[in-house]
């Protein structure tokens, strides 16, 4: 991991605790839990980003590809 570790004490479901205890050697638990949390947090971040984009897209008008292309062409002509 290479980063400093901070302690974070939180309750865990008994089922999760038992599976972690059974499947993961004690020396690897910190790494496994950290990686699982990292992946879950990234998933949450992505879902929030998608929701923001979906809400934003409801507020703006839809532009046709022809309109977008004409605006790009016009802009390119002004920068020659």
Given a cut of 80, whether residue 21 has pLDDT beyond it is yes
What percentage of the chain exceeds 90 in pLDDT?
Answer: 64
**Residue ranges making up the domain that contains 28:** 14-78
71 within domain boundaries: yes
> How confident is the model at residue 44, as a pLDDT?
95
1 within domain boundaries: no
Count of domains in the chain? 1
Q: Are 32 and 24 in contact (CB under 8 A)?
A: yes
> How confident is the model at residue 80, as a pLDDT?
67
| C-alpha span between 44 and 57 (Å, rounded) | 20
60 within domain boundaries: yes
Q: For the residues 7-22, what does the mean pLDDT come to?
A: 95
> How confident is the model at residue 2, as a pLDDT?
60
The model's pTM is 0.64
What residues have CB less than 8 Å from 66, skipping those under 6 apart?
A: none
Q: For the residues 56-76, what does the mean pLDDT come to?
A: 88
74 within domain boundaries: yes
């Amino acid at each position: 991991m290479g980063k400093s570790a901070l302690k974070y004490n939180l309750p865990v479901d008994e089922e999760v605790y038992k599976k972690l205890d059974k499947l993961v050697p004690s020396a690897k638990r910190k790494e496994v839990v950290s990686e699982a949390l990292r992946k879950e947090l990234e998933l949450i971040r992505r879902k929030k980003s998608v929701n923001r984009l979906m809400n934003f897209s409801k507020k703006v008008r839809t532009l046709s590809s022809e309109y977008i292309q004409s605006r790009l062409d016009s802009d390119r002509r002004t920068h020659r």
